[in-house]
Structure 1
Amino acid sequence: MVERWVPRTERDELVMAAMASVRSFTDAMDRMHGGIRSDMDMNATDLAALRMLIVREQRGEWVSPHEIAEHLAISTASTTKLLDRLSESGHVERRPHPHDRRARIVAITEHARREFYRRFGERMVRMRESMADYSDDELRAVIRFLGDMEEALG
């Protein structure tokens, strides 16, 4: 068992404050996602799938059902049910892969895209505005820090 860590130095106190800030940030994200899930009448997995599809679409990437299953760490059977639900609600479409006629891709619908941006858009604007006073080097440090936190939790 790992013993409770107690800060002993100024550096330790700074690390503890950073961890508390990460916790507060993730709590705020959880509250935001909870509200949006409720507004959109979705569960957490449905919303996570839509967020993944939006991000991948912005990168110009196609998404297969297998990639959704992998990203969400769910079974292929659960992925099928998820995609059935999201298709039925008009949020996604299953389409033939543009280059491989045997494969299928999943695409977000225009309806879902509008709904997603209506609910997230204002928050995204406020988040971008909150970064205005940070230098490029500070933003690079934040990016590196959050990437390291993601890897530590993964």
Structure 2
Amino acid sequence: MRHPSEHDPDSRSVIDPRNHEVSAAIVRDLGLSDADVDEIIDLFEALRRWRRTSDAQRDASRHHMRLGENDMRAIRYLMSAGRRGSTITSTMLAEHLGLQGSSVTKLLDRLERAGHIRREPHPSDRRALSIVVTDSTRATASSSVGADHLRRFMVAAAMPSEERQVVSRFLTALADLPVVDHAEDAAGE
């Protein structure tokens, strides 16, 4: 499958607000110049490229470690908690992943069979078990996923503080937009 690139004019035209009935009027009403609109398109193209790259990197890491999406999320959470010295139970993991207890039990059984985690006695609650990532999985994850995270961190660290703050405000504003269920909108008409 061909992915549009930042050099693909069709990719840009799809997100150009001047090519859409609803947003073309807003561009005029806001008094945005063509240069302003082109900068905004560049910004959204950069976000699209980042999302594709991030998805591809995540998929490559999961493939390398032979893990599903929730499996990888569980390993990352367990490793982070372990570095902080926190003890994690299956209930805590279920809450973090937003899964039912039975689904987490199956996930943990699968990870344990594959040698990624161990269930150990809880240090302060003899009725519970703690979940711990094995040393081999920790080493594999650190050398792959951890190295990728470090590369992204270094890009952010190289930016001046003011630029990081601008990017953070922008991404936070996008993330804070409400999710609109357009199926509900259409049903209400």
- TM-score under structure 1 length normalisation: 0.77
CA distance 1:81–1:101, shift in 2 (3 Å): same
Q: Output the amino acid matched with 1:133.
A: A
Aligned to 1:139: 164
- TM-score under structure 2 length normalisation: 0.65
SS in 2 for 1:100: coil
1:126 is aligned to 2:148: no
Aligned to 1:81: 106
Give the drift of 1:125.
3.2
Q: What is the rounded CA distance, in whole Å, between the counterparts of 2:173 and 2:66 in structure 1?
A: 33
What is the aligned-residue identity percentage?
Answer: 29
Alignment of 1:11-30 (within 5 A): 13=37, 18-30=43-55
SS in 2 for 1:86: helix
Give the drift of 1:138.
3.2
Aligned to 2:130: 105
Summarize deviations over 1:27-71 as a string: whole Å, max 9, x none. Answer: 222111111111122211111111111222233322221122222
Q: What is the rounded CA distance, in whole Å, between the counterparts of 2:172 and 2:125 in structure 1?
A: 33
Give the drift of 1:95.
1.7
Q: Output the amino acid matched with 1:56.
A: A
Q: Structure 1 unaligned segments of length 5 or more: list them.
A: none
Q: Structure 2 unaligned segments of length 5 or more: list them.
A: 1-20, 180-189
SS in 1 for 2:158: coil
Give the drift of 1:144.
5.3
Summarize deviations over 1:101-122 as a string: whole Å, max 9, x none. Answer: 2222211111110010121233
Give the drift of 1:152.
5.1
Aligned to 1:90: 115
Q: What is the rounded CA distance, in whole Å, between the counterparts of 2:177 and 2:107 in structure 1?
A: 28
Aligned residues: 152
Q: What is the rounded CA distance, in whole Å, between the counterparts of 2:41 and 2:122 in structure 1?
A: 47
CA distance 1:46–1:5, shift in 2 (3 Å): farther
Q: What is the rounded CA distance, in whole Å, between the counterparts of 2:177 and 2:84 in structure 1?
A: 25
Q: Which entry has the higher C-alpha Rg, 1 or 2?
A: 2
